[in-house]
Amino acid sequence: MAQEQAETKYMGIEQENESLTSSLPTREGWWEPFFLLQGCWLSTKMTRSVMAMKPQFHPRHDDIILATHPKCGTTWLKALAFTVINRSTHPAVASYDHPLLSHNPHDLVPYLEIPFRDLHPVTELDEIPSPRLLSTHLPLTLLPSSTSTLSRVVYLCREPKDVLVSFWYHIKTVRPDILIEFDRSFELFCEGFSFYGPVWEHYLGYWKQSKIEPEKVLFLKYDEMAAEPTKHVKMLAEFLGVPFTDEEESRGAVEEVVRLCSFQHLKSLPVNSQGVTERIGTDNSLLFRTGKVGDWANHMTVEMAQKLDCITEEKLRGSGLTF
């Protein structure tokens, strides 16, 4: 009976979504038609997923949300936040049973909108004990709960040129059947027509909120985190309400977290080199490419870089956010 009710509810949502998407602006150019949902470009499947998820998500006052635009270091942030929060039960120090050694970070910190919620019920999130550590690629405007009902949001952004290069590789690998030349992806990205884009609006939403509610929204940059990981892990712990004690710091607990979650270490683990993420359904190895800052220089001409830099500067002008 419960199953029947759930199915009827889903069919209702599915029909509702069909009619809602039909009224949204749509555009082709990537692997399937994208829809513009409240200023954010989403693939057809993701649009339906977000629409199915939003009314069914039950926010809790102590939820912690890790928010990112795709390819900004989500996997890294999930590993770091999970390790920092759970370090009393799972110390990072040379333990042989730390969850990160046997699980990809995405299997430890679920997304709100992934897997596709029109097919995979969002109710799985209700079963997670509080405080929940959740993640999303959604812009602030599409979050299913406002920052006033959430405990905290950690947002990680990245230099846009590196985001595009990382994303292009990701799509090329996940969808080898779709041939999207880098130059074409570049043009679409510059137009603001990209998955979860425009990227600048995505950044600005959280950036502005972090200025309004600094105790609720922590805004981080991949590039800065890569340059000074220890400083950022301490900042993250403090923001999440679990600061490192002097004793922990003196015995090198912060550096242990950095090492456990480092690109080289996570990439080298069998779970990440050979495993498949249960929730996302892709090879974990896809999530670990170069992990470098500035790889765009190997893919863009000077003119391309200047063009994207100019757009970024113009879009972010006056906000105080720079790259």
Sheet bearing 152-157, strands edge to edge: 133-136, 64-68, 152-157, 217-221
Map residues 164-203 to x or -, x wherever contact with ligand A3P holds by CB under 6 A: --x--x----------------------------------
| Binding flag, residue 111, ligand A3P (CB under 6 A) | no
| Binding flag, residue 160, ligand A3P (CB under 6 A) | no
Least distance in Å: CB of 151 to ligand A3P?
22
Which residues lie closer than 8 Å to 100 by C-beta, 6 or more apart?
79, 82, 83, 108, 260, 261, 266, 269
**Cβ-based nearer residue to ligand A3P, 73 or 160:** 73
Of 47, 49, 75, 136, the one binding ligand A3P (CB under 6 A) is 75
CA distance linking residue 160 with residue 142, whole number of Å: 21
SS3 state of residue 67: strand
| Binding flag, residue 162, ligand A3P (CB under 6 A) | yes
| Binding flag, residue 266, ligand A3P (CB under 6 A) | yes
Least distance in Å: CB of 278 to ligand A3P?
16
| Binding flag, residue 74, ligand A3P (CB under 6 A) | yes
**With the C-alpha atoms ordered 320, 263, 185, 107, is the resulting torsion angle positive or negative?**
negative
Least distance in Å: CB of 158 to ligand A3P?
8
Total residues in contact with ligand A3P, by rule CB under 6 A: 22
Long-range contacts of 288-292 (CB under 8 A, 24+ apart): 288/75, 288/263, 289/166, 289/169, 289/170, 291/76, 291/226, 291/263, 291/264, 291/267
| Binding flag, residue 113, ligand A3P (CB under 6 A) | no
**Cβ-based nearer residue to ligand A3P, 13 or 225:** 225
- Provide the CA 59 distance to its chain's centre, in angstroms: 18
Question: In residues, how long is the chain?
Answer: 323
| Binding flag, residue 135, ligand A3P (CB under 6 A) | no
SS3 state of residue 56: helix
**Interaction residues for ligand A3P, span 274-303 (CB under 6 A):** 287-291, 295
CA distance linking residue 234 with residue 228, whole number of Å: 10
Query: Near ligand A3P by CB under 6 A, which window of 81-89, 246-254, 259-267, 301-309?
Result: 259-267
- Provide the CA 164 distance to its chain's centre, in angstroms: 14
Least distance in Å: CB of 20 to ligand A3P?
28
| Binding flag, residue 255, ligand A3P (CB under 6 A) | no
Cβ-based neighbour number of residue 214 at 10 Å: 11
Question: Is 137 annotated as catalytic?
Answer: yes
As a 3-state breakdown, the chain gives helix, strand, coil percent values, each rounded to 5, of 50, 10, 40
Active site (catalytic) residues: 137
Q: Which residues are at the interface with ligand A3P (CB under 6 A)?
A: 68, 70-76, 79, 162, 166, 169, 261-263, 266, 287-291, 295
